[in-house]
Amino acid sequence: MKLTLIAAAAAFALLPPSPAAAQQQTQQQPQQQQSQNPTADQKAGSAASGGSATRGVPVQQNQTRKQKFQSLDKNGDGKISREEAQDSPELMVIFVPTDSNSDGEISVVEFEVVPLVQPDGTAVK
């Protein structure tokens, strides 16, 4: 189980930034091209809006992991299929590494490794 969690965490860390982060990066490139020597403030601002942001599946304020799983499991069969996961683009990005037994569905146990984030960006424990 620990090996599965470690493998899932490593796979998640290797994922590309979210589309929103990529868009921010694209918008920042013209600004960086204008100044070949960015100031320390510009460097700090760029790092703050880049890939260091917490990524994960968003939950509603005070929503538990179990409640989030149930909201994604539309048919109530105890598994999140690929079709059901399409309601969460963030989950679709990590669907394959999260589906550790490769059965095409995410079980409650597999969902335990999915990073969840509150609306304010803080991680759900």
pLDDT in tens, 63-88: 999 999 999 999 999 999 999 999 99
Residue 50 lies in a domain: no
Q: What is the pLDDT of residue 75?
A: 97
- The pLDDT of residue 94 is above 70: yes
- Whether 103 is in a domain gets the answer yes
| CATH number, position 80 | 1.10.238.10
Tell me the pLDDT band of 36, cut-offs 50, 70 and 90.
Answer: very low
Domain assignment present for 16: no
Q: Is residue 43 part of a domain?
A: no
Within a domain: 96: yes
Q: Specify the pLDDT at position 37.
A: 46
The answer to whether residue 90 scores a pLDDT higher than 50 is yes
Distances in Å between the Cα of 97 and the Cα atoms of 27, 81, 84 are 30, 14, 17
- Is residue 82 domain-resident? yes
* Confidence (pLDDT) at 125: 78
Residue at 105 is within a domain? yes
The Cβ of residue 110 has, within 10 Å, a number of other Cβ atoms equal to 20
Better-predicted residue by pLDDT, 55 or 115? 115
Please count the other Cβ atoms lying within 10 Å of the Cβ belonging to residue 51.
Answer: 14
Asked, for residue 45, whether it belongs to a domain, the answer is no
Model confidence at 91, pLDDT cuts 50, 70, 90, reads very high
Residue-number span of the structural domain to which 92 is assigned: 56-125
Domain count, the chain: 1
